[in-house]
């Protein structure tokens, strides 16, 4: 099978985790970039990337990379591509563009327009008619990336972002992105080798992703559609082979999930049932201040409120309580906190062993690890 140049998009801070995942599924010549991993692979690797990569948002297949000296040359290079190799005139398409530091293209809309014109003119000249543009539900998604006078044209194999796993039916006010949640768990080095706890679980994204990781369940198991299924070279037999059910990895430990809100917990339980991991998670309605679970050598990961809906003194008090509970109730474990509230993070009162910069949406966050010792460190 032919090898292609591929790009897996991700969030800032998850590039190393994603690069390891890409190597594991057979990606070759892997190198990481900012919010992306570049690699090579055949159709099987493209399908596996969409089905198995937990920390990828979308997978792009490169069509062409070229330099241009002006807008006219850019248009001609785009028009010279054999677009019939990628889709036919009866299919509709959309173009998504990103423009960085370009003298010729002031905005992404202008770049998209030029590529659209080139594709339309190519089909009209060769087939007497042109395909339609559909921004709502396109068959084919073309990705344009322009940096200065360099252009990379790619075709999107994914469609809807891979964080949309297909199991989330209920969510609270600020649900954690599934790709970010999986990345946090993998950054923490947890793969089902000990107990796991999220004491502020919200709609359950962290414990559900943990249960899927622990049992080696594919993250896209519940997704119904991918963009590559509308490609000219789509191989149904290959896809059937990749998505054949495999025996789950046995998980001998326990995942604990609790929340002070009954409605949050109900949402988490509903989502866990949909993800077929309900029986792997012990749910409990509780304020973290009252939660008493006996853990040893476990991993605790939590995403507490950042302050959008809590007054500052309440938020500082919440983080102080978290630190106290970690120190007095959960010594002998390691704990991780994701937050954008840098001021409140100081009130945890524990020295972080590791600090990682991550983004939760547009919010710049710290993902801090705390080794929870009994007494003073070094005693």
Do 268 and 209 contact (CB within 8 A), yes or no? no
Q: Given a cut of 50, is residue 378 above it in pLDDT?
A: no
Confidence at 373, pLDDT banded by 50, 70, 90: confident
- CA angle, 46 then 3 then 55, to 5°: 30
Tell me the CATH number for domain 178-217+248-371.
3.40.50.150
Interval 90-146: pLDDT, tens: 999 999 999 999 999 989 999 999 999 999 999 999 999 999 999 999 999 999 999
User: Is 3.30.2130.30 the CATH classification of the domain at 4-156?
Assistant: yes
pLDDT tens readout for residues 18-58: 999 999 999 999 999 999 999 999 999 999 999 999 999 99
Spatial contact of 257 and 281, defined as CB atoms under 8 Å apart: yes
**All CATH 3.40.50.150 domain ranges in the chain, comma separated:** 178-217+248-371
Read off the pLDDT of residues 134-182 as tens digits, 9 standing for 90 and up: 999 999 999 999 999 999 999 999 999 999 999 988 666 667 999 999 9
Residue 92 to residue 368: CA distance in whole angstroms: 46
Helix (H, G, I), strand (E, B) or coil at 161: coil
Q: Which two tokens stand for residue 135?
A: 């921004």
CA distance linking residue 335 with residue 319, whole number of Å:
13
Contact 162, 177 (CB under 8 A): no
Contacts of 56 (CB under 8 A, 6+ apart): 8, 9, 10, 18, 21, 37, 49, 50, 162, 179
Query: Which residues of the chain are in CATH 3.30.2130.30 domains?
Result: 4-156
């Amino acid at each position: 099978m032919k090898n292609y140049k591929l790009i897996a998009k991700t969030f800032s801070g998850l590039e190393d985790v994603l690069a390891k995942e890409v190597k594991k599924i057979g990606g070759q010549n892997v190198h990481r970039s900012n919010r992306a991993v570049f690699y090579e692979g055949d159709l099987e690797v493209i399908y596996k990337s969409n089905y198995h990569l937990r920390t990828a948002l979308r997978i792009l297949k490169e069509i062409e990379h070229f330099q241009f000296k002006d807008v006219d040359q850019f248009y001609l290079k785009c028009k010279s591509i054999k677009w019939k190799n990628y889709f036919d005139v009866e299919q509709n398409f959309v173009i998504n563009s990103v423009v960085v530091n370009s003298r010729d293209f002031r905005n992404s809309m202008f770049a998209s327009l030029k590529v659209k014109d080139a594709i339309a003119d190519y089909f009209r000249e060769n087939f007497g008619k042109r395909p339609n543009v559909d921004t709502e539900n396109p068959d084919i998604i073309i990705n344009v990336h322009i940096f200065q006078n360099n252009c990379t044209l790619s075709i999107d194999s994914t469609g809807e972002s891979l964080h949309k796993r297909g199991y989330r039916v209920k969510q609270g006010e600020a649900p954690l992105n599934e790709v970010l949640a999986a990345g946090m768990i993998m950054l923490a080095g947890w793969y089902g080798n000990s107990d796991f706890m999220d004491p502020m679980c919200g709609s359950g994204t962290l414990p559900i992703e943990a249960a899927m990781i622990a049992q080696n369940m594919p993250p896209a198991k519940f997704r119904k559609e991918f963009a590559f299924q509308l490609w000219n070279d789509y191989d149904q037999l290959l896809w059937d082979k990749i998505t054949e059910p495999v025996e789950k990895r046995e998980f001998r430990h326990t995942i604990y999930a609790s929340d002070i809100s009954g409605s949050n917990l109900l949402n988490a339980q509903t989502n866990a049932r949909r993800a077929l991991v309900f029986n792997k998670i012990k749910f409990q309605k509780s304020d973290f201040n009252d939660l008493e679970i006996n853990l040893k050598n476990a991993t605790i990961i939590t995403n507490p409120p950042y302050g959008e809906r809590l007054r500052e003194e309440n938020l500082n008090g919440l983080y102080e309580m978290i630190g106290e509970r970690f120190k007095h109730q959960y010594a002998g474990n390691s704990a991780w906190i994701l937050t954008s509230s840098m001021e409140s993070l100081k009130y945890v009162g524990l020295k972080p062993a590791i600090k990682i910069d991550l983004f939760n949406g547009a919010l710049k966050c710290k993902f801090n690890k705390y080794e929870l010792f009994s007494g003073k460190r070094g005693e």
